[in-house]
Amino acid sequence: MAKDWKKRTKLVHAGSRRSQYGEVSEAIFLTQGFVYDSAEQAAGRFEQAGDDEFIYARYGNPTVRMFEERIAALEGAEDAFATASGMAAVNAALSSLLKAGDHVVSARALFGSCLYILEEVLTRFGVDVTFVDGTDLDQWRAAMRPDTKAVFLESMSNPTLEVIDLPSVAKIAHEVGATVVVDNVFTTPVFSRALELGADVVVYSATKHIDGQGRALGGVVLGTRDYVRKTLEPYIKHTGGAMSPFTAWVMLKGLETIDLRVHAQADSALALARALEGDNRLERVIFPGLPAHPQHEVAMAQLEKGGTVISLDLKGGQEAAFRFLNALRIVVISNNLGDAKSIVTHPTTTTHQRLTDEQREVLGISPGLVRISVGLEDIDDLTADIFQALDAI
Ligand SMILES: *Cc1c(COP(=O)(O)O)cnc(C)c1O
């Protein structure tokens, strides 16, 4: 594969494998296993499988490998392992790395299921976890210990869109030898430079922008070849959680168009945020691409654009938020993001329902907060829909 290909060329061609039929579109190798020519060949492959040799789909599959190589090329990672969902990826990235007695420092503004893994699962196996305000570098510094093995953060948090200063956090973590694991969903693989900025391990829910059309669950973990093959792969291949070949094909096709889609979504998100900023029915418009955002400069230094999600804090709390959601005609009420369809979510009563009022308050998730994942619809239609729903409050 040409290493110096530009992003869009990699997204269309990197990792491609053609069968003897020379198909144009990547084949779906819908098989759990592989036939060996001889007993000797089987024995040899179990001893050491070559780059293009497969044993069992839980360990790897040609369609899945194409997806892993394509996203690794995009991200500039040495290697990648694809998983059945984003949560399988987060769990494997952390569980493969940690053991009882290890310490982890994590940003506190996390996707609910990530919080569950850190708070409930890892601690049950004797891992000590300290939570910090991810935007406060002094808190990161104070939390580090000689036994800190890993640092975990979402580069842009859900749903309040805090952006973490990744180079600074990575520097603080590396001083004690901790591995920096970044959940990069909101940044998207298009705007990510996480590895270049100091992350050691990058995790995606492929369910979001990589599929981008709401069809399949998937995830991927990226890192050095040493980490992926020696630490991560043994964990995933023996505990399950590998991506299915059909899902890998959906995700491969998603990668072909991701750059076009995400740029269009980010441009619409900025246009919407600008149109909404200052509207007197809103307490706040949260979008990292707006100069008023508290981490606007960090965001612009790390990402090319402000992302594809905006959050609005409506005056009038939950009642206003529900009226707004129910009045939308184009934007659908759901909880995915990164989709071609614009999606609105009320975090307090859905994705963050499990938290206490106090936890939500600390995270800035007020009852009037709504999250909008901006899709690919015409920007004029989207803007009109959102303003007519604001009128309906
Ligand atoms: C959706 C999401 C996940 C989980 O991904 P699934 O594919 O739903 O398992 C993890 N982290 C973040 C930030 C997410 O948005």
Ligand 1 pocket, 94 CB below 6 A?
no
8 Å CB contact between 84 and 218:
yes
What does the alpha-carbon distance between residue 369 and residue 364 come to, in Å, rounded to a whole number?
9
pLDDT in tens, 77-104: 999 999 999 999 999 999 999 999 999 9
For residue 1, pLDDT beyond 70:
no
With the most atoms of ligand 1 within 8 angstroms of its CB, the residue from 157, 185, 335, 339 to mutate is 185
Name 386's Cβ contacts closer than 8 Å, sequence gap at least 6.
272, 276, 328, 331, 372
Residue 124 pLDDT: 97
pLDDT digits (tens, 9 = 90+) for 308-328: 999 999 999 999 999 999 999
86 C-alpha to center of ligand 1: Å? 5
Contact 243, 221 (CB under 8 A): no
- The string of pLDDT tens digits covering residues 155-207 is 999 999 999 999 999 999 999 999 999 999 999 999 999 999 999 999 999 99
pLDDT, residue 355, reads 87
CB 90 within 8 A of CB 113: yes
> What's the pLDDT band for 2 if we cut at 50, 70, 90?
low
As a whole number, the mean pLDDT across the chain is 96
Nearest residue (by CA) to ligand 1, atom 11, is: 111
pTM of the model: 0.96
> Does 24 have pLDDT greater than 90?
yes
Select from 73, 308, 89, 278 the least CA-distant residue to 183. Answer: 89
Domains of the chain, first to last: 2-254 (3.40.640.10), 259-391 (3.90.1150.10)
Residue 161: the pLDDT is 95
Residue closest by Cα to atom 7 of ligand 1? 86
End-to-end Cα, the chain, rounded Å: 54
What does the block give as tokens for 224?
């050095």
**Plot region of 372 (φ>0 → left; ψ -120 to 50 → alpha; else → beta):** beta
How much is the average pLDDT of 101-130?
95
The stretch 98-117 carries a mean pLDDT of 95
What local confidence, expressed as pLDDT, does residue 344 receive? 98
Distance (Å, rounded) from C-alpha 371 to C-alpha 323?
Answer: 14
